[in-house]
Chain A
Amino acid sequence: MQLFLQRVFDSMNNGASYAVVAIALVLIFKATTLVNFAQANMAMFGSYLAWWFHGTVPIWIAIFLAMALSAVGGALIERVLIRPFDPSDHLPVVLITFGVAAILEATAGRFWGLEFHKFESPFPAQPDDYIGIGGARLRYETLGTLLAMGLMVAAVFLILNRTKIGLAFRAVSSNVESARLVGVRTGRTLQFGWALAAALGTLGGTLVAKQTNLEPAFMAKLVIFAFAAAVLGGLDSIGGSVIAAFIVAIIQSLLVGYAQSIPGLGWLKSNFALVVAFVLILVVLLFKPAGLYGTKRVERV
């Protein structure tokens, strides 16, 4: 029981980071019905910015500054590179996101080098900073990450459901044409979506960077997990993707933990847990093709 609790607690940290990045992917998907292939590198770049600012200012201010800058960057990318294209033609946009990913990767490599950088945890991370529950250790770091994620999700919900721009965003993601006809400025609204997604990606990156260290490719794997979570929860459901992120993280942690002690399953290492998670997702999708909480597609002829 103690071991079980410990593994669940350990997975919470990952779950929170997956959730934040999954929300970023979902926002872009809602806005453009497209997966942003540059999301990993946008988040990577933002995390580097936070690390760089931390040289002069405290870590929290650095993270907020990096999020603000990422939002500006996301908005700029949308305005300069995405908006000129016809939203129903996805091919050029796919190329653009590949291109942006390469440019960001190269720039980060140029300014900050390809070697590992240690990212300081924004939460108390001394060895004895934990609460004991049933013998398992719930670290303050984990609690802090969960709290940051919770605040972020609450903020996104408030923005989308209680503000004018959020209303506009929901209108645009439900039907671009109708939204434009009733006077919503679709371009600016989508730009807002990109900015929000970029800021969220940066937060997700910084939440995970304290464990993995910074290097130009550190986000790639996280984004695959986040994409899995977003799909499992339903690509257009923010709440669903948060729940699914924790499901994916818990499966990953428990499988890796318990498989080692079962003879014959020794090959089930960290990488392979993702495979099992994928198989589970496949089974879920076979019965619920739009994910757990996604909107069912209705087609008109």
Chain B
Amino acid sequence: MSDLMEETTTDADAPKASAAMFTFSEGTSQHRMFQLIGWAFFFVPALVIPYILPNFRVSQFGQVIAFSVALLGMNMVIGYSGLLSIGHIAFMGTGAYLTVILVNDNRWDVWMTLPVVIIANFVFGALLGFPALKIKGLYLALVTLALAYTFPILLKIDEWGIARRTGGDNGKNLAEAVKPPGWARSLLFINGRKPQEQQAIYQYFCLFVLALICFLIVRNIIKSRPGRSMIAIRDNQIGAAVSGVPLNMTKVLTFAISAAVTGVSGSMLAVNLNSVGPTSFDFNYAILTIMGLVLGGVATLHGNWVGALLLVFIQDLTSRVSIPPIIPKGSPLTRAVFGIVLVLVAFFMPGGVVSFATKLKRKFVRVIPQVPKGSSMDTATLSVDSSESGTLSGAAR
């Protein structure tokens, strides 16, 4: 059904698209050049940022990277599988706390904690996946919301040494900051800088590489069989089951992998902030991350980092707006500006920033899909990319 609809829309677009400024055939050298330029627009700023901005800004961008991985994990469950989970912030917290506790109390190396974080969160995620088999839609949202609400409270329990290990209300500082080894200093050309700057730049690049790895892994999962199964379940559960998709296995696995990815993002955040505290993983952040996800674009890969960028900077930026007679500087009304921005985004970019940008791009650039050699598929099916057209409607139905 959706194939049919996609096909008709491509046909309808055809006359308009012929007026596009650039037209490429897929796989030609021009097309590859175009893609390369697109990637350059992403990578050049990302690689230059740590060298030109002051330390606290670099740290803010480190936060963006950490949250982009968190959104990536959440997107697997919310976007691609259509299961509305508000509780992923708890997995992020578990990752962060595990890293800090293992480093501080057990003298582990920071990066060595990652496998533990991944395995522990994989198990926790699978455990949350089991109730999700039975409980659906907004009922599942409540159960996961309970997790988000409960997590900071659980950290503060005085019994059984929990509060002692987690630091209770105050949280904990990472005992050993991540410092660049000699080879990394020469690789990144930061030998001449102050130690603090060296540390900030090195941390940024560590997070950046980790995030790239996470994005690659998740992208490959989405494009391969388990990912297709998730999307099939989201779009039509019964249809997917009839076609031989193992429902329970796929759902539990999705929760487990997504929790593991989100846990890694928590460790990244702990490294970036050099500390953890219960307020970084409370209910507000649960809501903020959902907002970032929706702003960026659900069920898109680029939506994750765009959403994280907005999540970190939008409140900061809107709080600086001042329109002298109505909104004086620093008045509580600046939060209304934030609200108005959200409303405007909903009106003008209803699918999030990324789907808006994709639509805009289609006006200027048209890529003609080509049949791969030796394939019997026709072009119409090739142009369908159902993974990019998801909505939350499946989640709340």
Which residues of A approach B to under 8 Å, CB–CB?
29, 33-35, 37, 81, 84-85, 88-96, 98-107, 109-110, 114, 220, 224, 227-228, 231, 235, 264, 266-267, 271-272, 274-275, 278, 281-282, 285-286, 289-291, 297, 299, 301
**In angstroms, how far is the closest chain A Cβ from the Cβ of B361?**
20
Selected from A109, A271, A289, the residue in CB contact (under 8 A) with B335 is A109
Give me 11 other A-B pairs in contact (C-beta within 8 A), A109-B333, A110-B331, A282-B143 excluded. Answer: A89-B391, A90-B391, A93-B346, A95-B343, A102-B339, A103-B339, A235-B139, A264-B159, A274-B149, A275-B154, A297-B136
- In the assembled complex, the CB of A282 is this many whole angstroms from the nearest CB of chain B, namely 6
**A35-B141 contact given A96-B342, A285-B134, A289-B134, CB 8 Å threshold:** yes
Picked from A99, A104, A105, A267, the residue with its CB within 8 Å of the CB of B346 is: A99
Residue pair B295, A281 in contact (C-beta under 8 Å): no
Majority DSSP secondary structure for residues of B touching A: helix
By the criterion CB–CB under 8 Å, are A92 and B350 in contact?
yes
Contact B339 A81, beta carbon cutoff 8 Å: no
Contact of A91 among B138, B149, B237, B391 (CB under 8 A): B391
Bound CA span A189–B230, Å: 36
At the interface, yes or no: B188 with Cβ under 8 Å from chain A? no
**CB <8 Å contact, A91 and B131:** no
Partner of A92, one of B134, B139, B287, B346: B346
Asked if A95 and B342 sit within 8 Å, CB to CB, the answer is yes
Residues of A within 8 A of B340 (CB): 99, 103
Name B348-397 residues within 8 Å CB distance of A. 350-352, 391-393, 395-397
Tell which of A93, A95, A224, A278 touches B291, judged by Cβ atoms closer than 8 Å. A95
Question: Is B334 close to A, CB under 8 A?
Answer: yes
Whether B139 and A231, one on each chain, are in contact in the complex, defined by CB atoms closer than 8 angstroms, is yes
**What is the interface residue range for chain B against chain A?**
35 or more
Residues of chain B within 8 A (CB-CB) of A35 are 138, 141
Shortest Cβ gap from B6 to chain A (Å)? 17
Complex contacts, A290 vs chain B, CB 8 Å: 139
Q: Which of B72-124 contact A (CB under 8 A)?
A: none
B134 touches A102 (CB 8 A): no
List chain A residues, Cβ under 8 A from B345.
95
- Taking a contact as CB atoms under 8 Å apart, the answer to whether A291 and B339 are in contact is no
Q: Establish whether residues A96 and B343, one from each chain, have CB atoms under 8 Å apart when the complex forms.
A: yes
- The answer to whether A231 and B346 touch across the interface, beta carbons within 8 angstroms, is no
Report B-chain residues with C-beta under 8 Å of the C-beta of A291. 139
Among residues of A, the one whose C-beta sits closest to the C-beta of B334 is A106
Q: How far is the CA of A84 from the CA of B350 in the complex (A)?
A: 11
A95-B346 contact given A102-B335, A224-B149, A281-B142, CB 8 Å threshold: yes
User: Given A95-B295, A267-B158, A289-B139, A88–B336 Cβ distance below 8 Å?
Assistant: no
**In the bound complex, how far is the Cα of B157 from the Cα of A89, in angstroms?**
41
Tell me the smallest distance from the CB of B326 to a CB of chain A, in Å.
Answer: 10
B145 with A100: CB separation less than 8 A: no
Q: For B342, give its contact among A33, A102, A114, A231 (CB under 8 Å).
A: A102
Question: A190–B340 Cα gap in the complex (Å)?
Answer: 23
Flag if A231 contacts B142 (CB, 8 Å).
Answer: yes
Given contacts A102-B339, A107-B336, contact A85 B350 (CB under 8 A): yes
A–B complex contacts, Cβ < 8 Å, 28 sampled: A34-B396, A84-B347, A89-B393, A91-B350, A91-B392, A94-B294, A96-B343, A98-B291, A99-B338, A99-B343, A103-B335, A103-B336, A106-B332, A106-B334, A106-B336, A110-B333, A220-B283, A231-B139, A266-B158, A274-B149, A278-B150, A281-B146, A282-B131, A282-B135, A286-B135, A289-B139, A297-B136, A299-B238
A105 nearest CB across to chain B (Å) = 6
**What residues of chain B lie closer than 8 Å to A110, measured between beta carbons?**
331-333, 336
Partner of B393, one of A88, A264, A297: A88
Name the distance in Å between B352's Cβ and chain A's nearest Cβ: 7
Which residues of B125-154 are within 8 A (CB) of A? Answer: 131, 134-136, 138-139, 141-143, 145-146, 149-150, 153-154
The 7 closest A-B CB pairs, nearest first, are: A102-B339, A99-B342, A109-B332, A103-B339, A278-B146, A106-B336, A106-B335
**How many angstroms between the C-alpha atoms of A289 and B132 in the bound complex?**
10
Which of chain B's residues have a CB closer than 8 A to the CB of A99? 338-343, 346
Q: Does B211 contact A (CB under 8 A)?
A: no
